[in-house]
Structure 1
Amino acid sequence: MARDPNVPDAFDVVTVVVLRRPDDAPEMSDEELDALQARHLAYRAELAERGLIVANGPFDAQSDPSYRGMSVFACDPAEAARLSAEDPSVRAGRLAYDVMEWWTRAGSLAFPLAGGPVGERRTMPD
């Protein structure tokens, strides 16, 4: 069987974590939410400073308001899940997360703040 010409020869594979608000998120006062958000942002900033997150930010104008934001990690999915589980907002039950590998055409993504390559180059398995 011939290879589909629409499938790239190579892919760059990165780890993505999508944060979402669970249906059963606990209610909190405005003061508690503000303090939790500050801890969440500080934790994400620390991961970025350590080079573990190379792109990060909230969503807006999305079709499903439960989706809150996304991070591209410079580690494998298991490590990204472990790090995401330690996020203060996840620990408090205000956020949940989904971890996945994102395959994009080789060379189509760049992370200039990363200081080096992110993810790994792969070919599509037969």
Structure 2
Amino acid sequence: MPRNPDIPDAFDVVTVVVLRRPADAPDLPEDELDALQARHLAYRAELRRRGILVANGPFLEQSDESYRGLSVFACDPAEAARLSAADPSVVAGRLAYDVMEWWTAAGSLAFPLAGGPVGERRRLPED
């Protein structure tokens, strides 16, 4: 069977983490929420400084308000999960996360602030 011409020859594969607010997130007083948010942002800024987190930001005007933000990590999914689990907002139960590989057509993504390649180039397995 010939290869489907609508499928790219190669993909760039990156690790993506989606942060979401769990239904059972604890209610906290405003001052505790502010302090927790500051720790969350500092933690993610440190990951960015270390070159592990290459793109990161909140969602606005999303169709599901439980989705809070998206991050692209320069590591494998297991390491991204380990790092996400240590986020202060995750530890406090205010955020949960989903980790996945995102396959995009080779060359369609660029992370100019990353200081080097992010992810890896792969081909789909042959049938």
**1:5 pairs with 2:5:** yes
Runs of 4+ in 1 over 4 A off after TM superposition: none
Partner AA of 2:3 in structure 1: R
- TM-score normalised by structure 1 residue count: 0.99
> What residue is the counterpart of 2:109 in the other structure?
109
Q: CA deviation at 1:125?
A: 1.3
Structure 2, unaligned stretches of length 5 or more? Answer: none
Partner AA of 1:52 in structure 2: I
> What residue is the counterpart of 1:34 in the other structure?
34
Structure 1, unaligned stretches of length 5 or more? Answer: none
> What residue is the counterpart of 1:17 in the other structure?
17
Helix, strand or coil for the counterpart of 1:57?
A: strand
CA distance in 2, matches of 1:4, 1:61: 36
CA distance in 2, matches of 1:59, 1:125: 33
**1:69 pairs with 2:69:** yes
Say how many residue pairs are matched. 126
Q: CA deviation at 1:2?
A: 1.0
Partner AA of 2:94 in structure 1: R
Partner AA of 1:111 in structure 2: F
CA distance in 1, matches of 2:102, 2:88: 25
CA distance in 1, matches of 2:100, 2:113: 22
Helix, strand or coil for the counterpart of 1:79?
A: helix
Q: CA deviation at 1:12?
A: 0.1
Within a 5 Å distance, the mapping from 1:77-116 to structure 2 comes to: 77-116=77-116
Q: CA deviation at 1:116?
A: 0.3
Helix, strand or coil for the counterpart of 2:13?
A: strand
CA distance in 2, matches of 1:61, 1:3: 39
**1:122 pairs with 2:122:** yes
CA distance in 1, matches of 2:76, 2:88: 21
Partner AA of 1:21 in structure 2: R
